Amino acid sequence: MSALSSSPSATVPVQASSAAAPRNTGRRRGPRRRPWATALLIAGVLATIAVFAVPLYWLFSSALKPRQDIYSWPLQWLPRELTFDNFVAAWNAAPFDRFFLNSIITTGVGTVLELTLAILCAYAFVFVDFRFKKIAFVLIIGSMMLPGHVTLIVNYMTVANLGWLNSYAGIILPGIASAFAMFLLFQYMRTIDKDILQAAEIDGAGHIRRMLTIVVPLSSPMILTATLIVMVGKWNEYVWPLIVTSTTDMRTLPIGLLFLRSQEGYSNWGAIMAGAVFVSLPMLILFFLAQKRIIGGLAAGAMK
């Protein structure tokens, strides 16, 4: 009886102490940022947005303005009326249908070939053992430090000797090797568990089958990211198509914009702005539709 009578009194302090103990269920907050630092950060973000957004806004608004509003002073930021005459004038002044066709062909075929080589090269460096692999990898990565203009003369002489001047082959083939895309895929493929490929090898799968059925599906986020980056670069390429082509029928859109400026001179900026919209709008739409995948793919590669 004494033991039974003493047990409740012994447990009460323990319960009271446990009930009185404070519970820290919230997250620990870091040091608060000072108001002036917050204001400076917001000002920097707004200034950065303005640097990128104001030129784009002026480009698209000028393409839709009447001619007198483009040259008015003070600047007419909001169009008083919208017109598509500038787009009609640009389309009639230059063969943009042919420019679009050339850009689609060179961008599509060049992106497919470049990503194919990047996937093969990255797979070889990650999953295939061969002599001088580290030396070859260092040389390929080291090529990223050289500007592309260093190889312009050599590539031009090679293309000229092969008879590929003013042709799709001359525009596409010299640029299908991409160390940047290969490095992105290499970093992502390194995170794939090699035991999966060893199991497939035991089942009799060769390198091509392992790459197509295991590695490529697992690397699809980074492949999509690399595809979009390469596609934007191909679409906006200017120097090499300008050098290797000499006729209007083989010009791409960036070169077509230069042709439009030579046709219109410096007197019809509305048509030139409309031509710039023709060049930039497809990639802007593509970027805004796929920006989450681009950022997600790069972040996934960095985290892994």
Q: Which fold has domain 101-303?
A: MetI-like fold (1.10.3720)
Tokens of 220: 């699809």
Q: What is the structure's pLDDT at 1?
A: 43
Count Cα atoms within 13 angstroms, Cβ side, for 254.
16
Q: What is the structure's pLDDT at 296?
A: 62
H-state helical runs in the chain: 2-20, 35-63, 67-70, 85-93, 96-127, 133-142, 152-161, 168-172, 179-189, 194-202, 207-210, 216-218, 220-235, 239-244, 253-264, 269-303
Q: What is the structure's pLDDT at 14?
A: 45
Q: What is the mean pLDDT of the chain?
A: 81
Q: What is the structure's pLDDT at 208?
A: 87
Q: What is the structure's pLDDT at 249?
A: 87
Q: Which amino acid is at 105?
A: I
Q: How confident is the model over 19-53, as pLDDT tens digits? A: 444 555 555 555 676 777 788 888 888 888 888 88
Contacts of 225 (CB under 8 A, 6+ apart): 184, 293, 294, 296, 297, 298, 301
User: What is the value of pTM for the model shown?
Assistant: 0.76
Find out whether 240 and 171 touch, Cβ atoms under 8 Å.
yes
Q: How confident is the model over 278-295, as pLDDT tens digits? A: 888 888 888 778 777 666
Which residue positions in the chain have pLDDT lower than 50? 1-21
